[in-house]
Chains A and B, each alone.
Chain A
Amino acid sequence: MKYRLQFRKEGASRYISHLDTMRTMQRAFLRAGIKFRHSEGFNPHPVMALALPLSVGQESECELMDFETTDAPETEELLRRMDGVFPRGISAARVYVPARKVGEIRWLETRGLLEYDGGVSDEKISALNGYFAEKSIIIRKKTKSGDADIDVAPMIVGTKLTRLDDTRVELRSVIAAQNPTMNPDGFVRALETHRAELKPDFAVFRRLALFDAEMKPFE
């Protein structure tokens, strides 16, 4: 039976890498007594996949993991079994039978927390908003054949920055989730390359929601 788990990954668990997250979820499911279906072949492995790999250090409220079981428990029963089996910071939000393929995800909403140790002025906020409203936002990307400049503006649908307090700014944006993928780190990298005076001293991003090509919530 095919299922989809939506889970949160925050706090200390945001440092668990993509591969380690796969291993961690496998073990957690075994602890929960969930019976993975295994692939056939010489080296059988549990049938499971995480959508949209999350960079180490980023948080998420909407991670998706598709998995198959050999039996067909109720989704509520699966969710109940997942209680208390994950490391700190990972928590199951929903289990459901998926109607759509994760390949249909096109956009995601991200929130960044930008820290400026030297303080945030109103001018800085408007400069930031102004910069991210420009028609092209170039970041330098390392590729196999050397550095390449990429315009990420088409991968961003509206970015809004607001001041939270004396040193922190909240960034909210909707960015391309896959094909192509925009890593939210690109916001910081773009500032670093072009507007060093606006670069935060520290930034952490959090995935909030997923959307399809029509900007309808994906589930």
Chain B
Amino acid sequence: MDNRLERILPRVQKPARYTGGEYGAVYKDAADVNLRVALCFPDTYEIGMSNLGLRILYGLANAMPGVWCERVFAPWGDMEDEMRAAGLPLFAIESGEPVGAFDVIAFSLGYEMAYTAALNMLNLAGLPLRSDEREGLTPLVIAGGTCCYNPEPMAEFIDLFLIGEGEELNGEVYNALRAAKAAGTTKREFLREAAKIPGVYVPSLYDVSYNDDGTVSRVAATDGAALPVVKRVARDFAAAYFPSETLIPSTEIVHDRVALEVMRGCVRGCRFCQAGYAYRPARERDPERLRDLAVQALQASGYEEVTLSSLSTSDYTGLLDLCDGLLDWCEPRRVSLSLPSLRADNFSIELMQRVQRVRKTGLTFAPEAGSQRLRDVINKNVTEDDLLTTCRTAFEGGWGAVKLYFMLGLPTETDEDVLAIAELANRVLFTWRTYAKNKNRGVKITVSTACFVPKPHTAFQWEPQVTEREYERRVALLREAMPSKSISYSWHDAHTSRIEAVLARGDRRIGRVLEEVWRGGGRLDAWGEYFDYGRWLAAFERCGIEPDFYATREREVGETLPWSAVSTGVSESFLLREREKSRAGTVTPSCREECSACGANALCDGGVCYEI
């Protein structure tokens, strides 16, 4: 261990986050490998280690002969201060070696508010932030993850973006870089070559021009780069690698359990949901394989909890079979099974009773909107009857806690829609009063609202965000409508949502703002302790950028959107059809009921996603 690090560790909170050595961590002899990869997560260890994608990419990269892939997380403030004071550069936690000397620095960008953390990590590594200021071929700074469906805000900093799923794509880029290193290729030549790999977006190969009104006029590809770059999907998700033998942290993390990915993508088509569009087509794994993977993962890890993970687990067709098979194994071994992100409309009594056999966790639903009208607008096909029936079953079964998640500021929302949230919460309370088996323990209904952030590649990508004042007015309206002590209300901060909206649909000019925020001290903006709204406003001001241009402006149909060089495989005409249907309050059936011809089927070998 580096002597500087050894002296710092006793003074910082939770030092085990910075030392590596966990069970399952991969150690190779640096002399035996010819490609060093630093998988960088721009958030803390506890958050990053809870990310399943990181474990998949870590496992796959380390399975490649000659590649050693290590992890790097953002240091917490106390650690960063100590590192800077000691002159200790950002290091990978396995080898402890400085990240600046690696061949690949690969960022996982899953949340816009982590952009400043990524910049700070580059700086801590001793590297220039901007791609054009890093002249050598290595370290090559790449990025992937859901945020990269709009790579533009980070385009000045990242050499190369990986669009879509990394199962095969990451390895292809590693191999290309390895070959380029051996051949002594320049960075510019390498980037031109790498751009030929499907799914690779090299921002420096695209020229962006602007209209007088500030909108993008044209995105032009140079050097024969693809336009658009279409996202990659894992060749065969059902059979794809699952990290059943993975890292087991020696200190507590956020999701400290086996996360079994049962399905990728979602069949529902909620019109606000970027993941729902970006991960199309929906693909499932076979319940028998999943059961085996879960048992392997539980035995290999020593975890005593397994959770079924996907965008909408209750839509997984093999759910009952899988739960049965798993519970038979789990129950005698005191292993608990949890099912997050369940939809109210098909959370069956049967399933609930089975999960209840091991542990009774709280119920969580996300109706997203209070009125049926608005739920139809967003295509969240949950009815109040479904929700109340499920709550009734749950209350009869002894549950006493329900969490309800909503968004405020959805397109077409009126005060009636806002108040309908309170009515719905009151009906849940009434249902408890009518049906609860044991009323002595009381009921806890938690209503949470977030401010709607329109995201790229969704049916709402053209929509304005409501202003902060308007969001706050709606919060106050809702708060007054829910006076009951059994209902508690919490809401997201308007400032963060506004910044998120700017970054989510930002163009390349936003890069200057990010740099300015970082220069002003922005580090871990995803954390309330570190987020400083004034710092962001000052940065906008200094860069001559009007945040409302990005947040609250409705885009004209036909406007060149900044992310138009990237495609999720879902066609813009489909998104426009969905937008029109949303305005008419017409719902779109799930992919299983009827194919809506979104275009994503072309990403997989087969013709249609579901035989109907």
Question: Which residues of A does B touch, CB under 8 Å?
Answer: 11-13, 15-17, 20-21, 23-24, 26-31, 33, 38, 44, 56-57, 85-89, 201-202, 204
- Tally of B interface residues using CB under 8 Å: 27
Question: In the assembly, what is the distance between CA of A12 and CA of B22, in Å?
Answer: 9
Chain B residues with Cβ below 8 Å from A26 are: 302
- Interface digits, B1-34 against A, CB 8 Å rule (1 contact, 0 not)? 1000011011000111011111101010000000
B121 to chain A, nearest CB (A): 21
| B7 in complex: contacting residue of A17, A86, A202, CB < 8 Å | A202
Given A11-B21, A13-B21, A56-B15, check contact A28 B302 (CB 8 Å).
yes
- Dominant secondary structure at the B interface: loop
Q: How many A-B residue pairs have CB under 8 A?
A: 72
Question: In the assembly, what is the distance between CA of A173 and CA of B402, in Å?
Answer: 58
Chain A residues with Cβ below 8 Å from B27 are: 88
Contact A27 B303 (CB under 8 A): yes
Give the interface segment out of B67-75, B164-172, B245-253: B245-253
Question: In the assembly, what is the distance between CA of A57 and CA of B11, in Å?
Answer: 10
Chain B residues with Cβ below 8 Å from A15 are: 9, 15-16, 18-19
Given A26-B302, A31-B302, check contact A38 B334 (CB 8 Å).
yes
B92 to chain A, nearest CB (A): 13
Chain B residues with Cβ below 8 Å from A16 are: 16, 250-251
A193 to chain B, nearest CB (A): 18
Question: In the assembly, what is the distance between CA of A26 and CA of B304, in Å?
Answer: 10
Contact B302 A30 (CB under 8 A): yes
Chain B residues with Cβ below 8 Å from A13 are: 21, 250
A113 to chain B, nearest CB (A): 11
Between-chain CB contacts (< 8 Å), 5 pairs: A15-B9, A20-B252, A23-B252, A30-B303, A89-B21
Contact B20 A17 (CB under 8 A): no
Question: Which residues of B does A touch, CB under 8 Å?
Answer: 1, 6-7, 9-10, 14-16, 18-23, 25, 27, 248, 250-252, 299-304, 334
| A27 in complex: contacting residue of B15, B16, B25, B301, CB < 8 Å | B301
Contact B25 A88 (CB under 8 A): yes
Chain A residues with Cβ below 8 Å from B20 are: 12, 88
Q: Nearest residue in B to A84 (C-beta to C-beta)?
A: B23
Q: Nearest residue in B to A24 (C-beta to C-beta)?
A: B250
Interface centre among B15, B20, B25, B250 (most CB of A within 10 A): B250
Question: In the assembly, what is the distance between CA of A89 and CA of B303, in Å?
Answer: 20
B93 to chain A, nearest CB (A): 9
Q: Nearest residue in B to A35 (C-beta to C-beta)?
A: B333
B155 to chain A, nearest CB (A): 37
Contact B251 A87 (CB under 8 A): no
Chain A residues with Cβ below 8 Å from B15 are: 15, 56-57
Given A20-B16, A26-B302, check contact A202 B6 (CB 8 Å).
yes
